[in-house]
Chain A
Amino acid sequence: MKSAKAEIMGRLRKAVVDAPGARSGSSAIPQLPSDPEELTARFMRELASVDVTAFRADDSREAVSKIAGICESEKIKKLLLTADDTVGETGIKLWAEKNDIDTFCTDQFDDNTEYKSVAFDEVQAGITGVEFGVAESGTLVLAHGKSQARLVSLAPEIHIALLPMVRLVPNYENAMNKLYADKSRLPSQVTFVTGASLTSDIGGIPIRGMHGPCALFVILIG
């Protein structure tokens, strides 16, 4: 007996289909400014348009002061951190220790159950690095792996994202061409984050914070 695939593909292949012609139109990638400051300004405007609160920080140390401000205003007492370099370079753990704030890092967990319990029930915010920022829509690109765990930017109520300015690019293609350059080592998952979680399913009324984080803060470093 033929397999399901063989039957289905057999029917598809039996069909006589004219070979498609070349595409005559243009793919029309939105054009953005090449000047870095203009690009940054565009990125900031796009972030604002999706209700993201964004800060500029000259360096990692200043980034910590921005994080401190967020923790105070949002009454954050427990943080979950990804194990990536951008987060590590801020020295956030040291600051947290001095300021009576608990931190958990994804590389400290052996057990997925304990990790999920912390992500869902314990912490008020997750802090991650960002692989790329995309100016065309104010999108953060997270390439998940050992140092960029998935739930850190999803389960806590607040997501704080640290984006080094050198990683700001105009379009999605710029980011993904780099991430997918080596087809034998693709990230298991890449997430585009454009604003906090959103729904309009009750009466068409937009509400921020459905299943994902209720608020997104972005700190641009450099």
Chain B
Amino acid sequence: MKIRTDEFRKIAAEEMVNPHARKFLDTYSYKSSTRRKTMMDIFPDGGQAKEYGREMRRETVARLPELLEQFETNAVANGAKVLWARDAGEANSIVLKIAREKEVKYVTKGKSMVTEELNLNEHLISNGLEAFESDLGELITQLLERPPFHIVGPALNVPVKEVGEIFLEKGVIDTPSTDPKELGRAARLYLREKFQHLEMGITGVNMAIAETGTILNIENEGNIRFNKSAPKTQVSIMSLEKVVPTMDDAFFMLRVLCRSCSGQKMGSYATFDSGPRRSDEIDGPEELTIVIVDNGRSQHYGDPMLRQAFQCIRCGACQGACPVYGKIGGYPYGWAYCGPVGQMLTPLLLGLDRTQDLYWACTGCRSCSDVCPAGIEHSSIFQYYKEKEAEGDADLKAPSKSFLESRFFDLWTMALTHHKLWGFGLKILRPLLKRALRSNGVSRKSLHLVGQWMIDRELPEIPNQSFREQWKDLEGEQE
């Protein structure tokens, strides 16, 4: 997937007038929040349940090293192999090496955001393998070569006609169709043949349960089940923060995840894998390899503000609540993660210099935090990124400031901290501003130096004297 975070504004402007995006987004927020509230109400105490989930995620992230060790020990005891990868390059090399050892010609992959982050498909394809997305939404975006529009439904904005056209072009169907059922059926048959002869399936991991060394995946379609159970080799890829302490914790998060994600009590299929198949079983993988990926997370683990980002369970509730996402959809975020999740994770992993527009695109309304079952304060993280940008933080790859901007704020700081200098500056500026001011507003041309800042602002009529000067005169009159 090409990273297009630097095109945020351009793509956002396009999507705001895109009729297909509008059709979905203009009703999305209302529907998702209504559905979610109804489903959370089934808990005896919905507010308490939310608070418990938040505390659990905070605790999990605080105990991350210990839980990862425990998970690995138990997973290996179950017969799984566990490998660690510092970055995308290492993770992709591990997967390719396994594919070569097993002499596979193609793989199928379940929906997995971390594998999008790694650009795994492109790596496998450039090394001579075929890689098929098996989730219907991911298949559509793969064929269209687009990023995900939505964390749960990556192709929800694509009109049925366009799905039919790309399916026809790529050979998924032989005759044109705009019937969603027919298209779904065609995708089923297209991938079914691949599942039947599959030698290596790749999945992500929703949760890695430390207590038992079990990986858990939740889905509706059944493709992840096929990726796990049809081939002899299963590779499941997780980022560090997917670990949960106990099976009971996993059930709690599963209830919250399904309700937050899609308004369901439970997805159609949840699969819990504790190692590969046993020797007397007729199906299931003979080998299960779990790849634990860092890719820039551990270097920020020590920062308590950024550590919040690891509490995310990828439910997408924040997207449904975000007024910005509700206007622009997923494409402008330009990478594997969109909405407030993308605004939080993408700057962390790619650097602030490539992602400024993402964390600046926040109204500060905190709707995301209100609905987040994992207790993340998204807007405080975005504010933190802005502070780090101003400080020129090297760890977060803050962009360098322009010479003019830096000198302006040097002068500004000096003026604000020296009142006589401030007063002198105002004496010079006031007549200039008054000359520029017209009855219908400020002349933007005169103030072009401050540029965008004046687009939505108008100055009031500027008096001849400042308040201090008027006060001094009044005092003089009274004497």
Task: Provide 22 A-B residue pairs closer than 8 Å at the C-beta atoms, listed in order of the A residue.
Answer: A5-B292, A8-B84, A11-B301, A17-B307, A28-B48, A136-B265, A150-B229, A150-B283, A173-B248, A176-B247, A186-B212, A191-B270, A191-B272, A193-B268, A194-B267, A197-B269, A199-B137, A201-B135, A201-B155, A204-B156, A211-B225, A212-B225
The reply to whether B229 and A211 form a contact with Cβ atoms under 8 Å apart is no
Q: Which parts of A12-29 form the interface with B (CB within 8 Å)?
A: 12-20, 23-29
Residue of A nearest to B52 (CB): A25
Interfacial residues, chain B to chain A (CB-CB below 8 A): 24, 42-45, 48-49, 51-52, 54-56, 58-59, 62-65, 68-69, 74, 78, 83-86, 90, 134-137, 140, 153-156, 158-160, 163, 180-181, 183-185, 187-188, 191-192, 195-196, 212, 214, 220-223, 225-226, 228-230, 240, 247-248, 251-252, 254-255, 264-278, 280-284, 292, 294, 298-299, 301-302, 304, 307
**Chain B CB within 10 Å, residue with most, of A31, A193, A205:** A193
B262 nearest CB across to chain A (Å): 8
Residue of B nearest to A153 (CB): B225
B residues near A189, Cβ cutoff 8 Å: 228-229, 271-274, 277, 284
Please tell me which stretch of A56-64, A66-74, A85-93, A138-146 contacts chain B, meaning at least 4 of its Cβ atoms lie within 8 angstroms of it.
A138-146
B residues near A11, Cβ cutoff 8 Å: 298-299, 301-302
The reply to whether B222 and A149 form a contact with Cβ atoms under 8 Å apart is no
Residue count of chain A within 8 Å CB distance of chain B: 77
B residues near A194, Cβ cutoff 8 Å: 264-270
The reply to whether B251 and A19 form a contact with Cβ atoms under 8 Å apart is no
In the bound complex, how far is the Cα of B283 from the Cα of A146, in angstroms? 9
When A and B form their complex, which 8 residue pairs have the shortest distance between CB atoms, in order from nearest? Answer: A212-B222, A15-B302, A25-B52, A201-B137, A211-B222, A20-B59, A210-B221, A28-B49
The reply to whether A207 and B65 form a contact with Cβ atoms under 8 Å apart is no
A99 nearest CB across to chain B (Å): 26
The reply to whether A176 and B251 form a contact with Cβ atoms under 8 Å apart is yes
Residue of A nearest to B181 (CB): A207
In the bound complex, how far is the Cα of B54 from the Cα of A199, in angstroms? 29
In the bound complex, how far is the Cα of B276 from the Cα of A149, in angstroms? 13
Known contacts being A23-B59, A150-B283, is A180 close to B184, with CB within 8 Å?
no
Known contacts being A201-B155, A207-B181, is A186 close to B284, with CB within 8 Å?
no
Residue of B nearest to A191 (CB): B271
A residues near B270, Cβ cutoff 8 Å: 191-192, 194
A171 nearest CB across to chain B (Å): 8
A residues near B183, Cβ cutoff 8 Å: 202
B residues near A26, Cβ cutoff 8 Å: 45, 48-49, 52
B residues near A171, Cβ cutoff 8 Å: 251
Task: Decide if A34 is an interface residue (CB 8 Å cutoff).
Answer: no
In the bound complex, how far is the Cα of B416 from the Cα of A161, in angstroms? 75
Interfacial residues, chain A to chain B (CB-CB below 8 A): 3-5, 7-9, 11-20, 23-31, 46, 50, 106, 109, 112, 115-117, 120-121, 136-137, 139, 144-146, 149-151, 154, 171-173, 176, 180, 183, 186-205, 207, 209-213
Residue of A nearest to B248 (CB): A173
Among A17, A116, A149, the residue within 8 A (CB) of B281 is A149
In the bound complex, how far is the Cα of B223 from the Cα of A18, in angstroms? 41
In the bound complex, how far is the Cα of B78 from the Cα of A201, in angstroms? 35
A residues near B90, Cβ cutoff 8 Å: 4
In the bound complex, how far is the Cα of B62 from the Cα of A186, in angstroms? 28
Residue of B nearest to A152 (CB): B283
Among B158, B230, B272, the residue within 8 A (CB) of A190 is B272
Residue of A nearest to B56 (CB): A23
The reply to whether A199 and B212 form a contact with Cβ atoms under 8 Å apart is no
Among A17, A28, A203, the residue within 8 A (CB) of B43 is A28
The reply to whether A149 and B180 form a contact with Cβ atoms under 8 Å apart is no
The reply to whether B274 and A211 form a contact with Cβ atoms under 8 Å apart is no
Among A46, A120, A199, the residue within 8 A (CB) of B196 is A120
The reply to whether B52 and A20 form a contact with Cβ atoms under 8 Å apart is no
A residues near B247, Cβ cutoff 8 Å: 176, 180
In the bound complex, how far is the Cα of B154 from the Cα of A211, in angstroms? 17
Known contacts being A11-B298, A144-B281, A189-B274, is A211 close to B86, with CB within 8 Å?
no
The reply to whether B248 and A211 form a contact with Cβ atoms under 8 Å apart is no
The reply to whether B222 and A210 form a contact with Cβ atoms under 8 Å apart is yes
The reply to whether A212 and B268 form a contact with Cβ atoms under 8 Å apart is yes
A127 nearest CB across to chain B (Å): 16
A residues near B137, Cβ cutoff 8 Å: 199, 201
In the bound complex, how far is the Cα of B264 from the Cα of A46, in angstroms? 11
A30 nearest CB across to chain B (Å): 6
